Amino acid sequence: MHELTWQKSTHSAEAANCLYVAATPTGTIRLRESDEPHTILT
């Protein structure tokens, strides 16, 4: 499995409630929140 490169949304504040996005090698998008980093939405 490839390691994802996560990018923080520019709309996220500096607090711990940030949204991160990553693209997979197949082109799908993954989302996660900074307060639950192990929960990844597909």
Give pLDDT, residue 26. 93
Q: Establish if 2 belongs to a structural domain.
A: no
How far, in Å, CA of 36 to CA of 13, rounded?
16
Q: Establish if 37 belongs to a structural domain.
A: yes
CB crowding 1-17: b at 16 or more within 10 Å, else e? eeeeeeeeeeeeeeeee
Q: Yes or no: say if 18 and 29 are a contact pair by the CB < 8 Å rule.
A: no
Q: Establish if 24 belongs to a structural domain.
A: yes
Q: Establish if 23 belongs to a structural domain.
A: yes
How far, in Å, CA of 42 to CA of 17, rounded?
19
Reply yes or no on whether the pLDDT at 37 is more than 90. no
The structure's pTM equals 0.72
Q: Establish if 1 belongs to a structural domain.
A: no
- pLDDT band of residue 12 (cuts 50, 70, 90) is confident
- Of 5 and 15, which is predicted with more confidence? 5
Domain count within the chain? 1
Structural domain including 23 reads 7-41
